Structure formats: structure tokens, C-alpha cells
Structure 1
Amino acid sequence: MIRPAPGEAPRNAMSVDVEDWFQVQAFAGCIRREDWDGFSRRVEANTGRVLDAFGAAGIRATFFTLGWVAERHPALIRRIVAEGHELASHGYGHEQVDRIGEAAFRADIRRARGVLEDAGGVAVLGYRAPTFSIGPRTPWAHAVLAEEGHRYSSSVFPVRHDLYGTPDAPRGPHRPHPDGVMELPMTTLRVGGAARGRNLPCAGGGWFRLLPYPLFRMALRRVNGTERRPGIFYFHPWEIDPGQPRVANAGRLSRFRHYTGLSRMSGRLEQLLRDFRWGRMDEVFAEAIGEARALPAPGRPA
């Protein structure tokens, strides 16, 4: 990690999970993957707005991007790289790692990395699993990531949730597999002590839209100030798009999670960019992952 100067708050890692509105896990039960090409794509325009906001704020971030998106929008990938951001992988088809198994996972990340590196012309070192689906049921995942050329993962969320979460996972950078990549878990705030306490989410996404902004700001400041460690924030381009199509046949809970707070997300994001210091994942956690910047794309496994 980048060590802050005495009295200076740590720099946090800003990240974006680049996927379109119809690719989210909340709608997986009512939108088939094979039908994706039939939907109106909004990801390029929305990610462009994100890039504009980052440019205005003078920050660089990490874009965990679906290979499916990169294949259809290579100009977007080139813009991400040209503007100094880190290009990273979100897999190819947004399939949950704990459901597809080791062989399909290897094929998915290999395909995604190939598409991303061909479009961006840089090495793709980072990976984030769709729906934080790496955990106790995927003990092989971190080793497979290393074998396929990745340097780090940001796929574990140490919280309890009905869709994801590994509440007993370490809250800081760690190596779950001796031959695997470094894991940079999503940020949580520990409350109630080590023995009986619990981790509260402090990393963005739906939590950021649902909770009062001052509460989120206080939690991240405590992580930065009391614990003297950087946090990781994430969001999706569709979260700044309140005009996106509505999926009428989605369940009530899915609609609540997806649509609540969309109209205020852009304003909250602008405030967040002003209130904290931000950087790319590979820069903020350079010491942990042993790589400070993206390099020219190396040869890939056949």
C-alpha cells in the first residue's frame, strides 16, 4: 500500500465495474444471457460520463470491465487506457465463479483477458469476480488467476449478504492460496470488537445509494483515520443512469436494489470525489501486489 505522510489521510482506490444495465445479477432470473445483444446498450455513454467526471476531478481509477463489453466497444477501452486509468477484468460473461466451476472459470477469464488486452494494448493484471463470487466454495480461484497471468483479485467482500459475502475473510490484503494472486477485499468497517463484532459494508455499490451519505463518509473516514488504511470504492456505470429501461418482470427486491437512489447517485459521486483522495488499484496497493503500473501486454496462453 502507498504509505501516507504523517497527518495525511490515505489515498483510496476508486474502481468501476463496467457492465450494462441488463447484465446485473439482480436480473439474471428474468434476462437470459443469450438475449443480451437484443437490448439497447447504454454502457459506452454511461462510462463516458464517468470518465468525464474523473477527468474533471483529476483522478485516475481502475475499470474492471466485462470482456463482452470490450468486444463490442473497443473504442471505450482505448479511451479508458488513453486517459491514464487501469484496465482490469470483470470476466467475460458476468457468470458467478462459484456456479460455473474451475474449468469454465479458467476459460472465462482467459477469454476476457485476451479481448481486453487486444483492445487496450496493456497488460490486464487485476480481476474482480461478478457478484463477489469468490470465497470458501472456490478454493482454486486465486491459483487459477495467477496461472492465467493476473497479479491481484478484488473479489471478496467480508460481509454477510444473501447473494454474496465471506464475513470471516481478512479485511486487508492477503493471499488466500500460497500459489495464487493477492486478494484486495472490499472495504468494511469493523464494529463491536474482534470477538462479537461484525463487518459493515463501506465500499460503494447499492449500499452507497441506500445509506445516508454522511454515514458512509464517516465510516470511510474512520477506516482512513483510525485504522490508517486505504479503502476501495466501487460502482457501476448504470448507477448514474436514472433513465435506463425498467425490467417490469423482475422481483420486487431486485427492483428495489437496482433502482433505488439512481437519481441522486451522480451528485453523491461528485461529493465523494471531493471529500477523499483517490487513485488506481494498482497504485494504491502497489506494495501489496508488486506492480505499480500496467505494462505492455505480454504473450497469453494458447
Structure 2
Amino acid sequence: MKTDVLNAMTVDVEDFFHVSAFESVISPSQWKDYQPRVDTNTRRLLDLFAKKEVKSTFFVLGWVAERYPELIKEIHRQGHEVASHGYAHRRASQQSREELLQDVKRSKDHLEDLLGEQIMGYRAPSFSIGYTNEWAFEVLAELGFKYSSSTYPVKHDLYGTPDWPRFAYNRPENIIEIPIPTLRLMGKQIPIGGGGYFRLYPYKVTEKLVRKYLRQEKQPYSFYFHPWEIDADQPRLNNAPLKSRFRHYVNLHRTEAKLERLLSDFNWSTMKDVYGVSK
């Protein structure tokens, strides 16, 4: 049975060769050597969302938006929210202040020119705003963003701010930060926000954890994933590290069916609507 709570569905619009897990074997200069699959996969998601009457926030990589403007216009035309995922999928923690400003500004400016409206949200690649670059929120506020979803309060080898707030909060920089959801179990914060964990957990485990989160925390839940996660036929990068390959390829063939169940079992909308973000 669906709960009455409205939750946020989000998609990070990037291709399989953009992901941080493969950055040790694929450099941005090599992206042109791979056949993009993001257009087809994202349109599959649009069809699924339309079937389930769900609206979502699409955090779009600027690199994708420049190459597939009609895809971004179609996302917008169907009533979804378009937000920024930066331009080149370089982690915010690997950039200087000026580099981050230029990367994010390039993405935001292009999306706003394309759609003719303000882009309010941003998500850093790999949730890469944390202890060492908290100044990134100042950059986002300077660029006119209203909210970010760039932190994950867990311990992880690529990201994590385990002692930062777990729920949406107003930053001193006058921007709302919406962390990826975690659930407290046995004194630990368990990641339940989507992505690889969604593919790894059996669906019934995910459903149980999300329902427990909604009962226990009385906060809206937000979910994230990527178009490549429904693409079991994507090329295999056998030269990538074993852990990276496991994280990326585990249960790809099951994701779309699990996602369809998730869309049916809970109520969904965009980040700006769920968290009351306004211009």
C-alpha cells in the first residue's frame, strides 16, 4: 500500500563512460571513443515515468546537454524538473574554487539558454561536497542555485560526511542542502538512497528500509539512479578494477523491473516540489 508521503525521484543523466568508478581507465579525452547510450536509456525512463504518471528531477551533465539538446527539451516538455550535474563529471573535491565555478556555470548557463528558465538545483558528481571543500556551497549560491543534493552522510571510499545533517536543511550560504537518505540501524547509518545499493539489495529489502525510514524519521525520502543502470547490454570495461566493475555491473538486468515496482509502491515528484524550493 502506498504511503501518503510525497517523495523525490531523481535521475543523474550521464553515460556509462562518465562514472567515477571508471575514471582510472577512461579519461575525458577518451569519451569520444565510446558510442553514447544515454539518449536511448533516458528516453526509456521517460516512457516508464509517463506510464507510472511520475515526475522526476533530472540532474543533467552539461556534456550530455550539449550533445542531446532535444532530449533535455523533451524531459522539460514532459513536466519534469531539469537540474545541473555540472559539466564534465569531475568530482567537486578534485577541483579548485575557480575550476568548480567554471564547470558548474558552463552547465547551468547552457541549460538555462536551452530551456529559457532558471535552473534551481545542483548535484555534485559522486556527492563530492564535504569536509575539504565546504566552500563549494558559496560557489553554488553565487551562481544562483536554490538547492543542492551533494552530500551523503555515510562512510564510503569515494565520498561521505557521516556526521553532517541527514535531512534537508538551510545552509548559511542561503542554499538548501538535501542529503541522500540514510537509515539508522544498530547505531550505524545505512545507505538507502538508490544507485548501486538499490541494485545490490533485493527489492523487498529496499521497500522495507524505505518504509521504515518514512515511519521512523517522518521525512520525505529521495531516490537517485542513472540511465545506464537499466542498460544490461552496455559494453563491459574489463580493464577496470574488480571492485569498480562489481559496483557498476551488479544486477543491471534486474534494475528496470525493480524500479517499476518502486514507482508503484510509493508517491513521487520532483525535488523542488517535495522540498518546497521556489525561485
TM-score (norm 2): 0.97
Q: What is the match of residue 142 of structure 2?
A: 147
Map residues 120-139 of structure 1 onto 2, 5 A cutoff: 120-139=115-134
Paired residues, number: 278
> Counterparts in 2 of 1:136-285, with a 5 A limit?
136-176=131-171, 178-192=172-186, 197-285=187-275
User: What is the DSSP-based 3-state SS (H/G/I as helix, E as strand, rest coil) of the residue aligned with 2:170?
Assistant: coil
State the secondary structure of the residue aligned to 1:246.
Answer: coil
- Identity percentage of aligned residues: 48
Q: TM-score, normalised by structure 1?
A: 0.90
Judge conservation of contact 1:145–1:180 (CA < 8 Å) in 2. Answer: no
Tell me, which stretches of 5 or more residues in structure 1 are unaligned? 1-6, 296-302
For residues 78 and 215 of structure 2, the distance between their equivalents in structure 1, rounded to whole angstroms, comes to 30
Q: Mark the runs of 5 or more structure 2 residues left unpaired by the alignment.
A: none
Deviations 1:146-166 (A, max 9, x none): 110100000000111111111
User: In the alignment, which residue of structure 2 is the partner of 1:300?
Assistant: none
Deviation at 1:8, TM superposition (A): 5.2
In the alignment, which residue of structure 1 is the partner of 2:5?
Answer: 10
Matched AA of 1:41? P
SS at match of 1:88: strand
Aligned residue for 2:10, secondary structure, equals strand
| Pairwise CA distance, 1:213 | 1.1
Do residues 93 (structure 1) and 93 (structure 2) align? no
2:64 to 44, 60, 69: 69
| Partners of 1:139 and 1:276 in 2: CA distance | 33
After superposition, the Cα gap between the structure-2 partners of 1:8 and 1:208, relative to the gap in structure 1 and judged at 3 Å, is closer
| CA–CA separation in structure 1 for the residues paired with 2:230 and 2:81 | 21
SS in 1 for 2:145: coil
- Whether contact under 8 Å (1:68, 1:93) holds in the other structure is yes
How far did residue 120 of structure 1 move?
Answer: 2.2
Contact 1:9–1:225 (Cα < 8 Å) also in 2:
no
Residue 57 of structure 1: aligned partner: 52
Asked if residue 34 in structure 1 is aligned to residue 24 in structure 2, the reply is no
SS in 1 for 2:160: coil
Instruction: Spell out, residue by residue over 1:51-103, the C-alpha distance to the aligned partner (whole angstroms, 9 max, x if none).
Output: 00000000100000000000000000000000000000000000011111211
Amino acid at match of 1:187: P
